[in-house]
Structures are given as C-alpha cells and as structure tokens.
Amino acid sequence: MNEIVKDLTTDDTVTTLVERQRTFFRSGSTRELGFRKEQLKRLRNAITRGEADIIEAVRQDLGRPTSEIWTTEIGIVLAEIKHALRHLSSWARPKRVGTPLLLQPGSSRIEYEPLGTVLIIAPWNYPFLLAVAPLVAALAAGNTAIIKPSEQAPHTSAALAKVIGGVFEREQVAVVEGGVEETQALLEQRFDHILFTGGGGIGRIVMAAAAKHLTPVTLELGGKSPCIVEKDADLDRAARRIAWGKFLNAGQTCVAPDYLLVHSSVKQPLTERIVKAIEKSFGKDPKASKDYSRIINAQHFKRLTGLIGNGPVITGGESDEEARYIAPTLIDNVGWDDAIMADEIFGPILPVIAYDDLDEAMEKIESRDKPLALYFFSKDRTLQAKVTERLSAGGITVNDTMAQFINLQLPFGGVGASGMGAYHGKAGFDTFSHAKPVVTRSTWPDPSVKYPPYRTPLAILKWVTRRSM
C-alpha cells in the first residue's frame, strides 16, 4: 500500500489528496455493493489483526483497562461492520413509492447514492471508536473518506494510521495525522460531508468552514447530560448503573451522566450506594485499580481539579497530577449557578442536586441547552412516559445509562446545542447517502392541458388536482 498520509501542512498537499479521492470516486468503483462489502471485510480483518496494537495505543493515551478498550473501542466497531454487512443490500436497494394520478402512466422510486468524498474529524476520548464507526457508515454508503484523528491521543492516531494505511489506498481512505494546522488545511477544502465529534466551540468552527462550501455537516457535540432519580427507583441497580456510566473512561464520555438530579427523600441512600458501587468496581484505592482510567493530559487535569471545590465532597476528591489521576468524586449540595454546572464536566466528577418536585426539576432542565443524553430512573411507567415525552435530548435511557448508544438499531446524535445529524446502523448509511428521487414516465398520453396556452377553466384544474395528488 501507499505510505500513510500524515503531517500535511500545505493546502497544495491537502488539495492533491482530496482531488485523488474525488477522481477515484468518479471512477464508479465505490458504487458497487460488492466493492463496498469487500472494503468492510478488509477493514474488519485489519482491525482484528491489529487488535493488540490498538489496545496498547489507547492504553498509553488514556490508561484504560484492556477489557474496557476492547469493548468500547474495538467491539462496537466490529459490531457496526457486522451490522452493515448484514443489512447493506437492503439499505441500498431502490425503494418504490406511489405515483399520483397526474403522473400516470409512470413509476417513482428512491435511489440511494453515495455523497462523494467525506471528512471525519475524531476526538480523543474514544479515539479509535469515534474515528472508525463513522468510517464504517461512510464506506457502506459508497464514499471515499479522510480521517483526522485527535492529536491529543497520539498513540491511537499512529495506530489508526497504520491500520488504515495497511488496508486502503490513499485515494480510498486516508488518515491525516497532525494538529490544528492540519485540521485547518483540511477544512479549507470542499468535501461532500463532514462528520465532527467534539466540543461545541470547535463544532462552530467546523460548521463555519463547511458553510463556505455549503457542505452538510453532522456534529456530535455532547453537553450536560442529566441523570434523574425518582423516589420509587430501584436504588441498588440505579447506583451501580450510574457509577458505571459516569466513571467509565474516568468520565471522559460524551454521553456520561454529567450531573445527578435525585429526589431529596432518597438522596442519602442513593449516594451511599454509589459510594459502595465505586468501591466494588475499583476498590478502596481506585488509583491502584487496573480497571480505572486516567485523564488524557495535564490541561484537562487542571481544569477538572479546579471544579472539585464547588461543594462538599461525598467521596473522592484525591488527585495526582503526575499520574493524571482523579478519584471518582461525588460533590454534594451543588447549585444550578455554580461553576461546575456551566459546562460539560467530561471527567470523573458527579455533582449532586436534590429536588422535591419532578416538574420543577424538568423545568430546570428545559431552561438549559438540550443535552446529548438524558437518564431517568423510576419504576413508574406514567412518570417514564412523562419524562420521555416532555424532555428533549439526543437520546434517552430509562433505568440504565449509555444503552441508547449501544443499540445499533437506534440513531445516535444530538439535538440543538448537543449536535445535529446522526449515525450508527442505517442512520449512518442515510447520513452518508443522498436519497435521490427518480420518476419514469411513459411517452403517452401527453394531454395538452398542462401546456400553454392555458384554456382549461381554473375550477376544473383545482378539481383534478385535488383528486389526483
């Protein structure tokens, strides 16, 4: 295979890469279903062969345990590939739709065509998953793709480049390593779609750059995802599932519970159970646990430790800058206007806010930006329906955390400030495809009524139109 694309620093070099991908796309090879399936199989095989290198790379970047890396980075991607291979023929098949009387005799259908050359900008928190899962969708839809991994996860970036470079020619899929300069150079180019995962600030920059070329975008931006626990919830299961969802990858997960809204009558027993769940998962000293991750870098470490003083610490609070370690931490008596409630935490710190009235709690959530995820724990089906119908979020899970991301039958994406567009499964195929309408008409009959000069009375035209559309 050609050498890996990396360290692109000039517009000319980037332009050449994009043009090579466009030329290959115009050859028509990627439109063939057999070609697409073969690319997905080659990607699957390359991931399987490079599994040990990928795991080690993520471990070096984030200090994560092997089983967690395989499950959340590799396993989900392999599931995406398997799902796409199983359903691709059905997704890509033209769909026949009805044809109104005015267009008879004739037929109508929707054909799904690839968009062209797409750009995937991945984040550092799940640096392999969030680069390759969108790639699966892009390849299934028949596109060429350029991936820009995060420079903040350099080991995974290099491993990703090695895996992709060993499977694809650059004109099919290319990895561009580097930092801000490389990202800016890429954003100067015209792509047919851009999928970005990251923070809202950079998301605005990506969207502004895309607007110059009228390029459609999918933005996965995160946000402050609430976790509501009602007084009738199963507290034992709620505590264990909240602790898992929050402290997975040391809280560096875009759909992690960002703050805990708990009914005041069960706040103490719930937090006590969460403390026990933390100890059961990571032991009395999480720093010594092989199953607890580390903070990505010093910058994020300092930002997070600065938030710990926002209220009384229920548990945790310990940190070690050299080890990039912050203990699983619960902070009590947090106010809605405290600094910790201003932005997404993206770390192992869980603020606790008590409420007495569910409607008032929902009003508080509604007054803020729409989150990427929302979690609600309650046995009451009426309350479950009330929350899921009233509150808006990218996705909602009742009586668990993260489940809405894991199900490949569901679209994954944000709403409002937490993002736009979606992928996973068929939603990803649709994102990277154009649903092209096609109408085929007979050459006869060809009534003169639709051509000028117009002589048919308007009343007759209205009557015919109303009954034939």
CB 380, CB 233: distance < 8 Å: no
Single out the catalytic residue among 220, 227, 230, 344. Answer: 220
CA torsion sign for 54, 55, 58, 61 is negative
Annotation marks residue 227 as catalytic? no
| Nearest by Cα to 137 from 424, 422, 420, 436 | 424
Phi-psi region at 228: left, alpha or beta (left = phi > 0; alpha = psi -120 to 50): beta
The beta-carbon contacts of 10-18 under 8 Å, at least 24 apart in sequence, are: 10/185, 11/185, 11/188, 13/185, 14/176, 14/182, 14/185, 14/186, 14/188, 14/189, 15/189, 17/146, 17/170, 17/174, 17/176, 18/117, 18/146, 18/189, 18/190, 18/191
Contact between residue 359 and residue 333 where contact means Cβ atoms under 8 Å apart: no
My answer on whether omega of the bond before 348 falls inside 30° of 0, hence cis, is no
Helices (H) and strands (E) in the chain, counts: 17, 20
Pairing outcome for strands 106-114 and 95-97:
antiparallel
Residue 411 has, within 13 A of its CA and on its CB side, a CA count of 18
68 residue type, one letter: E
Question: Distance between CA atoms of 295 and 153, rounded to whole angstroms?
Answer: 11
For residue 174, give the nearest of 192, 186, 190 by alpha carbon: 186
Neighbours of 106 (CB within 10 A): 12
Rounded Cα–Cα distance for residues 210 and 73 (Å): 28
Q: Which residues are catalytic?
A: 220, 254
